């Protein structure tokens, strides 16, 4: 996102409407007293969690029915940025009506996804993803308070970054969902590797079982393998056919799939999109005609960097003879 995107208030385009609404009008902000908990016939749980990475902190209040372990209501106080407020508000809402055991399974990915206006578009810019991690951690802290155990007992995944409390599963999922290609992007999205940096690669001040560089390579290799498999379409008879031999409908389907998995997310994050208009054979070439939508239609890179990126991905995933022609 260029400098021009950060002026004139357009920085808010990087935040979903849900996030903006919850920043300004949180539904569950406040506190719960012992008296209120008693009136509701439940046990009051108060949990605090602070994120050393950004100085933000959140306090979570639950009223839990001790007979059923169901969270009857939840409120929070947040000491941090607007995104932390929105994340904490959604987090509190997601826990209401669940048992403590079910609530503790809510992840930061669930919190971020619940803040999206639509399933395809991230709710916040990558540098704000860590706020949902804090919301995830305070749930575990509250559950530990209720059960009288250490919050680490709820860890059913390997923690790769101890500083930001980011798990192996979260890192892998974030790489796949957002098509990340660098360690720097992983850090932007999760804060993993942002502090002591010992989890980035071997040679840090403490030895790790997992490093971001290795995780990234492993996931990218898996994605590439899956991409190769996905670009081969099976006929009704069960035989695999090359892209050039497919029907027009099959070609359109595969092109859309590759674009959805590799390109559209980046375009949408910058306020744009694209549509495929037609696919035609032209001698030795397969020409794919596209139209840019939204911010992409007036972007200078739509005929240079963006176009080259789209064409390169389609060539790699589908057929080397592809040309992409914007109309």
Positions annotated as catalytic residues are 54, 131
Q: Which of 258, 226, 227, 245 is nearest to 286 (CA)?
A: 245
Residue 32, SS3? coil
| Helical ranges in the chain per DSSP H | 17-24, 34-39, 82-95, 100-103, 108-114, 130-147, 168-178, 183-190, 212-230, 248-262, 264-269, 305-317
Separation between Cα atoms, residue 233 and residue 253, nearest integer Å: 9
Q: What is the largest CA-CA distance in the chain?
A: 79
Rounded to 5°, the CA angle 326-268-258 comes to 65
Separation between Cα atoms, residue 97 and residue 86, nearest integer Å: 20
Separation between Cα atoms, residue 269 and residue 31, nearest integer Å: 35
Separation between Cα atoms, residue 38 and residue 63, nearest integer Å: 9
**Torsion angles phi and psi, residue 202, rounded to 5:** -60, 150
Separation between Cα atoms, residue 270 and residue 301, nearest integer Å: 12
Q: 59 - beta bridge partners?
A: 48, 77
Other C-beta atoms within 10 Å of 271: how many?
A: 16
Separation between Cα atoms, residue 89 and residue 310, nearest integer Å: 38
With contact defined as beta carbons under 8 Å apart, do 181 and 224 qualify? no
């Amino acid at each position: 996102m260029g400098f021009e995107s950060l002026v004139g208030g357009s920085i808010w385009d990087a935040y979903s409407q849900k996030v903006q609404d919850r920043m300004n009008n949180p539904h569950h902000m406040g506190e719960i007293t012992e008296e209120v908990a008693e009136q509701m016939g439940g046990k009051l749980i108060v949990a605090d969690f602070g994120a050393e990475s950004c100085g933000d902190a959140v306090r979570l209040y639950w009223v839990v029915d001790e007979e059923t372990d169901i969270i009857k209501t939840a409120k929070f106080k947040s000491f941090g940025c607007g995104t932390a407020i929105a994340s904490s508000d959604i987090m509190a809402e997601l826990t209401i009506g669940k048992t403590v055991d079910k609530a503790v399974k809510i992840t930061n990915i669930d919190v971020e996804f619940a803040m999206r206006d639509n399933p395809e578009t991230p709710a916040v810019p990558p540098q704000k993803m860590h706020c949902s991690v804090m919301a995830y951690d305070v749930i575990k802290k509250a559950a530990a308070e209720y059960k009288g155990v250490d919050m680490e007992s709820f860890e059913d995944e390997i923690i790769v970054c101890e500083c930001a409390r980011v798990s192996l599963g979260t890192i892998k999922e974030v790489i796949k969902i957002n098509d990340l290609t660098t360690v720097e992007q992983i850090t932007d999205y999760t804060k993993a590797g942002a502090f002591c940096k010992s989890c980035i690669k071997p040679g840090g001040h403490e030895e790790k079982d997992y490093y971001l560089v290795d995780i990234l390579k492993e996931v990218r290799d898996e994605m590439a393998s899956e991409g190769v498999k996905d670009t081969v379409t099976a006929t009704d008879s069960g035989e695999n056919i090359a892209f050039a031999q497919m029907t027009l409908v099959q070609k359109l389907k595969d092109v859309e799939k590759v674009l959805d998995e590799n390109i559209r997310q980046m375009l949408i994050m910058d306020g744009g999109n694209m549509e495929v208009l037609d696919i035609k054979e032209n001698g030795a070439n397969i020409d794919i005609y596209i139209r840019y939508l939204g911010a992409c239609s007036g972007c200078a890179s739509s005929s240079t960097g963006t176009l080259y990126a789209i064409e390169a991905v389609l060539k790699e995933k589908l057929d080397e003879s592809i040309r992409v022609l914007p109309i």
